[in-house]
Structure 1
């Protein structure tokens, strides 16, 4: 019987990842801005998918479909861009990754007394069960909000954490994750923040001085789909945006915000991973974040959207590379957050880079959450790219053994970011 279960499991994994048969992934490392510019200019032509962001003298990982591999390697050779193979066969690598996750389920455990484990990637059901239980057990400080549903009808759940149920004029801190479905390391950092604010409070000033909104999985449909069907699924799962959406569902939620929408770094092709949708806020998932901003705009001082991978803290303006009037504060607070992480980080992961999103990555992104939130008037807004996928690490998710470590060090950046936001902008909101 056990052998039959094993056979069925392996067969299911194989079928699940057949779409990636023949795909390869490459480490690439540009050593100049010219090389970086030429590399990023090929994203559309070769349909490149950077799962780990690349920068000057900073290695990234890119997925390449079979039909583009010869031309892509020729381009790298002509431009003398350093590269090496990361995975010869994505399908086989995803199968190995799935088996590793399943194996860890046999030894899963709770960390630091919390109800949710931080030694493996969790399904949406586990995450939702956790935040439901937190709201039930700590009603004096925690409010569960679930007023909207995703395109496929799943509740969009987030927590409001406050000592006085948002009745005062305390500054508001907002953190979300999971708008890009495949970035599995991002939701644990938000559930861990919930744990630290409610269950294992070691920084009581963070509740005394701030109200918090924590949204662990903005895109639940895509998150579930990435677990069950396509590991690298990035978008939502809507099918009403274009005549082709029935065949190519979904919108890139982080290109769907109503600021410079669909002007650069996006696509009108619904089959593209960076499809911006038919209009700004076409997706209920991104729209729900916009509604939270609307509701708390007068008090929100810090907005962080969690992504992976790259070990970067990026700030506006990402659509054109110009600097905000608030650039000095954005940069210095970002540096403080990065320093807090770097002090705790493991030695085999790179130090965080801090800077303007377009200038660091050398490609523009329009309709992104970080730019939209800043455009609306929130003084400190960041995209935080979590660590992972260094040379010598094979998988396409950060090995589960590092999840707890990433949560611990990222929490320290939230602590510093909140305190600095309070120092700089809290008094104007009291």
Structure 2
């Protein structure tokens, strides 16, 4: 019986990631805006899953199905776009990634109540426990709020942090969220580190005295759990609209701003499916309601994604700058300069600019465009570092770099928040 049980467990472990047998990942480096546009125009043709969006300055990372690999490579060569294979067998590399994170978890031992370890990625239950315990330890400045339920019935949490209980209307509000895309794990430790630096390890008192904060560490808990347990590259929500057999939608294409017009798919199984209607996803409703509730005071909305080492700002749905482009760019540069004070040379320097121009594609229904369109003066998307460029590292940021990334990113965000405060006052 014991042998049969061990055999069953072994079979189950090896069955994970089976859907990616034969897939390859490629570094793709367009050298001009024309090549970048051509690459995006072919993405639907080959059903590419873009993990890291390429720019003219930095190569991106793309997953390619076995049936599309020959045509994809031929197209790149015809277009003169440089490429190299990142991983020859995605399933094998995902198994290795699992081994790395599991080894780190074993080395950490039991999770204790007082803090989160930043040497690994945490499961949903641990994150919720951390939020609850942080609020309990800091009752005078923190409040844990439930903002609704996900499609699968999980509570959607955010933490309010304020020295004046959000009652001082002269203080600007800063809103930061992470993991609207389920597979973008590194944003969550950055968000919880920000909470830590505003509560248990507060050493920059002006950030609490001058600003009120709303931190949403996991916008999309259903997808995040699914990406841990079943499909590492799951990106969408897990909503179940009966008219489609494929689950979920891209919550960052679901907001009420030129919804379903640019950079989206009409096919429910695709990664960029915009949903059955505007705000059909509870997770998008969750973020939208927070923004609207505090709209009069929000100075900066910052949404954390990965990966790509870019900071972009509206507009995303069209070629054209916001009327506040100078202020947006100023905050983006402040964040980059702060990051660079601590950054490691392994990762590229962040690019800052208009989303449509930097990424070379149009995107509609995004949270940052939506927030900006209804009156938030400063809205930016920060895409964190991922795999080391041109290396054969896996598909997660190696846990050994988490502490580095959260530390350098907080350095940048704190500088950007101060700059935002100067611009709105």
C-alpha spacing 1:168/1:230, structure 2 compared with 1 (3 Å): same
- Does the CA contact (< 8 Å) of 1:160 and 1:214 recur in 2? yes
- CA deviation profile, 1:245-283 (whole Å, cap 9, x unmatched): xx3100000000000100110011100100000111101
CA distance in structure 1 between the aligned counterparts of 2:408 and 2:2, rounded to whole angstroms: 40
Q: What does residue range 375-386 of structure 1 map to in structure 2 within 5 Å?
A: 375-386=373-384
- Please name the residue that 1:175 is paired with: 176
Q: What is the count of residue pairs matched by the alignment?
A: 423
Offset at 1:6?
A: 7.5
Shift of 1:57: 3.1
Q: 1:238-257 alignment to 2 at 5 Å?
A: 238-240=239-241, 243-244=243-244, 247-257=245-255
Match of 1:313 in 2: 311
Change (3 A) 1:341 1:239: same
Which residue does the alignment assign to 2:360? 362
Structure 1 position 32, deviation (Å): 1.2
- 5 Å matches for 1:33-182? 33-108=33-108, 115-169=115-169, 170-182=171-183
Distance 1:58 1:110 in 2: 39
Aligned to 1:212: 213
What pairs with 1:265-304 in structure 2 (closer than 5 Å)?
Answer: 265-304=263-302
Structure 1 match to 2:418? 419
TM-score by length of 1: 0.95
Partners of 1:424 and 1:341 in 2: how far apart?
20
Partner of 2:399: 400
Tell me if structure 2 keeps the 8 A contact 1:266–1:366: yes
Distance 1:134 1:199 in 2: 8
| Structure 1 unaligned residues grouped into runs of 5+ | none
Tell me how far 1:11 sits from its aligned partner. Answer: 3.1
- Secondary structure of 1:106's counterpart equals helix
CA-CA distance at 1:323 after TM superposition = 0.2
Relative to 1, partners in 2 of residues 1:119 and 1:171: Cα closer, same or farther, differing over 3 Å? Answer: same
Q: Residue deviations 1:337-373, cap 9 Å, x none?
A: 1111122111110000000011001011000011001
Does residue 22 in structure 1 map to residue 29 in structure 2? no
The aligned runs of 1:319-398 (5 Å cut-off) are: 319-389=317-387, 390-398=389-397
| Structure-2 separation of matches of 1:239 and 1:420 | 42
Deviation at 1:114, TM superposition (A): 5.6
1:230 maps to which residue? 231
